[in-house]
Chain A
Amino acid sequence: MGIKFKPDSVLRASVQIPAALNQEEAYLWSRLGSPIQFKDLQSLCPWPEEKFLEILKSLHNKSGLGQLEKPTATAPSKSISVSAEVRELLQGDKFDPVAKEIDEKFRRECLIRLEKSGNDNPFENLDLSVSASDEAVRRSYLELSKRFHPDRFFRKNLGPYRKRVNQLFTIVQKSYERIKNPHDREAEARKLRLKDRVEATTPKAAKSKPRRMDPEIERIGKAEMIYKQGLEAEAQSRFVEAANHFQMASQLNPEKNLYEKALQKIRPELERYKASEFIKSAKKALELGLADDALLASEQAMKMDPQNFEAAVLAAKSILKCGMKERIQDAFEMLRRAKVNLPKNAEACFLLGQVYQVKREEDKAILEYEEALRRDPQMSLAKNYLIKLRGE
């Protein structure tokens, strides 16, 4: 025990599947597919705070949680000099919940290689000298392919680095195509020598010194960058991530109320998204026969998005499946509303029929089953119950 969770600690699931989780722990674990902030996770879970903490801690004790925080940032590497642009991007990563989880050495390597690729030198791209042998070219190509092939990161969330890794793989690939056979390699080498000679004879343009940025401008710039990442996330329907970004941007630069507005604008979307996530987990829970969990999740979904009648149907179904006699009236109300608002949904009618049967109102149940069949003539369950009821 003894671990503390701050509202902004980023949590994620361990890589190994922990053994012997109980239902609640498993539910929580399944919510940790991608890194998520403590407070977001809490809002996604149906339990009161105390219970939530208890479950989280026991999950942690069963080593179901990944590393909480990165150990203090690694000392700046001495060997490679890094350009201002790369340094800036690495700095910006600290504000990206995904990027900051990736090994810094790897991020640095990606950025430097990408920057170098601008020189359009296939030898440099493959870490080779112009006089490299056939075998060396192939060895280097295979090694770098292995390092940057997207399959290597199949299950990992790379955030902004996904695109960069893909780009690097393409660069490795195309560089290899250019120098893989000796004839082409000789031609590329000649081209490079010529280029060097031309550059040597023309006076070098004064290299612009990497400028120190005004911290104030840096802060505003950073906010803008984070905001843009948020927009990107929003465009891809990653609403939780987008909301986090907007919030961060507005904390960094409160004067610009565009950020706050973006956050407000995304709220309903976020709620709806969360509701749909809850519906998904409710469905999954029903499939696994965990009706209690399904009820909790679908009720959360209804709270988030009261207009979501699919959630109501799920909640009612869960009540029926649990056999909660005392809540049958709730189910009844939910289904009646769902039936009216979802005029094509046969399941609402079918379930309503079930409720009537529980209430021993068989005549009304028959009417509902008939309505269910009108809506979906294939619904064999409704058919079966109808036959049974009419048979008596």
Chain B
Amino acid sequence: MASEYVLGIDLGTTYSCVAVVEAGNARVLEQKGGYRTLPSVVAFNPDGSSMIGHIAKRQAVTNAENTIYAAKRLIGRVFEAPEVARASQLVPYKIVQGPNRDPRVRVFGKNHPIQEISALILRQIKAIAEEALHCRLDKAVITVPAYFSDGQRQATRDAGEIAGLDVLRIINEPTAASLAFGYNKRLNKKIAVYDLGGGTFDISVLDISTDTFEVLSTAGNTFLGGEDFDIRILEFIIKSFQTEHGFDLKEDKMALQRLKDASEAAKCQLSGSLETEINLPFITTIAGESKHLKYSLHRAELEKLTEDLVDQSIKICQSALDMAALKISDIDDVLLVGGMTRMPLVQQRVQEFFGRIPAKNVHPDEAVAVGAALMGASLVEEEAAILLLDVTPLSLGVRTAGGYTSIIVPKNSTIPTSANHVFTTVTDNQQSVKIQVVQGEAKLASENQPLGEFTLTDIPEAAAGVPQIEVTFSIDSNGILEVSAKDLHSQREQSIVVSAASYLSDEEMHSLSSQNESQALQDDLLTGLKPVK
């Protein structure tokens, strides 16, 4: 039987981290070699086997096309989304359209759903934890950016399931960080959590009163993070190289990957020192002649290149405060979470905006995983130690006549929550109604994220407008939508499956997880069955 430990997993865009609560204390689990975070990188070999984490990241330079990173930027999105198009231009691997309008990565002629990539990382994390704790583990709390939509949450949970995890809860990253900050400290404070990670930015405003953590508002951008900073450096150098040598480094995949790694390293170094050197000998060959790349980059230059990104995040902070109906002076503490908050410019701007020095006692890389572990432990306890009142980040609505969005659950509603909406027919004897569910704040339904659609059937024959079908939208504690319908005349209930564009079909989920399972069983047989001789 699997143990009672619940893994707290921070599944990050660039790095992941896992923690667990042992005897009331949360601790981060280390991998072999003492690493406390795992690069969220998966690389494939020609025979279909995969490498995950540090080993995958190390070989990325020579195997760029088959090395998948930043999968979190794609998960749960539809292929047509502008974010997917942007990612396509920036990564060396190929992104193609899947059968359900979902993006997939194409490696060695095989299309992999994004959920599968994330599942491979989660499986590795599970293995790391099992090795560290010497027991079987299957329960987990996984974190997602607060600003993730229903589809992205659903896809993350599916990834967990494929990896053989029982996902007890999906929680928001800034909320998790606040748990790590305030758990068991008997605080009575209003805090802001500024979370700038590898790929996403979130700001949440919370009210902590002892063991109750109430999120007052949350805002963010799921496509603003450390990667964007790297890309600014990368593009700057490519441009300089082009003016100097007249050659576009983007055409050389290996050079691009080396430059990407170097940009990230330079960015990290500039957090500690004022100047750094990007030195890549033999970067490429132009007309048979080897070229070397050597630039020195000053912190001020980096700040000039990325200032607008930081300003963008500060603007979002203001809107989060407005939604919580708070003034800057109401905030008692500011937490910085995510690796990007090590950048001096970020710290400076946050400090200027909030008018106070950010709290130093949360670890920017580990707080989220620790908070998730605390939540997990609280859930499985007989008497819950933590009460989390989180909110839904985006409004949930349906498309009405004329293509407008009619909001049913407004953003920043505390979850779990539910709301009703009564639908009726538009023609006589109409037997079914098709309903499109969208998430987002735009007036026009087409500009919001499509969550999926469902059809109400078996409506008793009647004149137009007579049948009354009450549809209930419930958002559970994971921020995931469930829909049910009731005919108000017959009181007959109908359960509805919302089939979203980006979800995997049941068969596909099944085949992916059984692949996983049969792998495990086969491994088992090899040791269990003595060869007959």
Per the bound structure, the CA–CA distance linking A321 and B296 in Å amounts to 64
Do A286 and B521 touch across chains, with their CB atoms under 8 A apart?
yes
Per the bound structure, the CA–CA distance linking A289 and B521 in Å amounts to 11
Instruction: Say what secondary structure dominates the interface of chain A.
Output: helix
Asked whether A380 is an interface residue with its Cβ less than 8 Å from the other chain, the reply is yes
Do B387 and A379 touch across chains, with their CB atoms under 8 A apart?
no
Interface string of B376-387 (1 = CB under 8 A from A): 001110101001
Do A154 and B384 touch across chains, with their CB atoms under 8 A apart?
yes
Do A142 and B379 touch across chains, with their CB atoms under 8 A apart?
no
Do B212 and A381 touch across chains, with their CB atoms under 8 A apart?
no
| Contact for A381 among B214, B389, B416, B522, CB less than 8 A | B522
CB contact under 8 A between A150 and B526, given known A287-B521, A354-B532 = no
**Distance (whole angstroms) from the CB of A286 to the closest CB of chain B:** 7
Do A380 and B522 touch across chains, with their CB atoms under 8 A apart?
yes
Asked whether A145 is an interface residue with its Cβ less than 8 Å from the other chain, the reply is yes
CB contact under 8 A between A357 and B388, given known A146-B212, A155-B380, A378-B48 = no
Interface string of A157-176 (1 = CB under 8 A from B): 00000000010011001000
Do A146 and B387 touch across chains, with their CB atoms under 8 A apart?
yes
CB contact under 8 A between A169 and B416, given known A142-B212, A151-B379 = yes
| Contact for A173 among B168, B325, B414, B532, CB less than 8 A | B414
| Contact for A154 among B379, B416, B524, B525, CB less than 8 A | B379
Contacts of A155 in B (CB 8 A): 379-380, 382
Looking at A15, A149, A385, the one whose CB has the most chain B CB atoms below 10 A away is A149
Q: How many interface residues does B have (CB within 8 Å)?
A: 35
Do A151 and B387 touch across chains, with their CB atoms under 8 A apart?
yes
| Contact for B532 among A145, A317, A358, CB less than 8 A | A358
Do A150 and B1 touch across chains, with their CB atoms under 8 A apart?
no
Contacts of A169 in B (CB 8 A): 416
Asked whether A26 is an interface residue with its Cβ less than 8 Å from the other chain, the reply is yes
Q: In the complex, which range does the number of interface residues on chain A fall in?
A: 35 or more
Contacts of A170 in B (CB 8 A): 416-418
Asked whether A194 is an interface residue with its Cβ less than 8 Å from the other chain, the reply is no
**Distance (whole angstroms) from the CB of B197 to the closest CB of chain A:** 26
Asked whether B348 is an interface residue with its Cβ less than 8 Å from the other chain, the reply is no
Q: How many residue-residue contacts, CB under 8 A, span A and B?
A: 71
Do B521 and A142 touch across chains, with their CB atoms under 8 A apart?
no
Asked whether A67 is an interface residue with its Cβ less than 8 Å from the other chain, the reply is no
Asked whether A295 is an interface residue with its Cβ less than 8 Å from the other chain, the reply is no
**Distance (whole angstroms) from the CB of B9 to the closest CB of chain A:** 18
Do A357 and B525 touch across chains, with their CB atoms under 8 A apart?
no
Do A150 and B212 touch across chains, with their CB atoms under 8 A apart?
no
Do B528 and A321 touch across chains, with their CB atoms under 8 A apart?
yes
Contacts of A357 in B (CB 8 A): 532
| Contact for A30 among B1, B212, B477, CB less than 8 A | B1
CB contact under 8 A between A145 and B212, given known A320-B529, A358-B532 = yes
Asked whether B352 is an interface residue with its Cβ less than 8 Å from the other chain, the reply is no
Per the bound structure, the CA–CA distance linking A8 and B120 in Å amounts to 46
Contacts of A82 in B (CB 8 A): none
Interface string of B193-228 (1 = CB under 8 A from A): 000000000000000010010100000000000000
Per the bound structure, the CA–CA distance linking A7 and B518 in Å amounts to 39
CB contact under 8 A between A26 and B387, given known A142-B212, A321-B529, A380-B522 = no
| Contact for A286 among B388, B524, B530, CB less than 8 A | B524
- Nearest 5 Cβ contacts at the A-B interface: A357-B532, A154-B379, A358-B532, A146-B387, A173-B414
What residues make up the interface of B, taking CB atoms closer than 8 Å to A? 1, 4, 48, 168, 209, 212, 214, 325, 378-380, 382, 384, 387-389, 414, 416-418, 474, 476-477, 518, 520-522, 524-526, 528-532
A-B contact pairs, 27 of them (CB 8 A): A26-B1, A145-B212, A145-B387, A146-B212, A151-B384, A151-B388, A152-B384, A154-B379, A155-B380, A166-B418, A166-B474, A169-B416, A170-B416, A170-B417, A283-B521, A288-B1, A289-B524, A289-B528, A317-B525, A321-B525, A321-B529, A354-B529, A357-B532, A379-B522, A380-B522, A381-B522, A381-B526
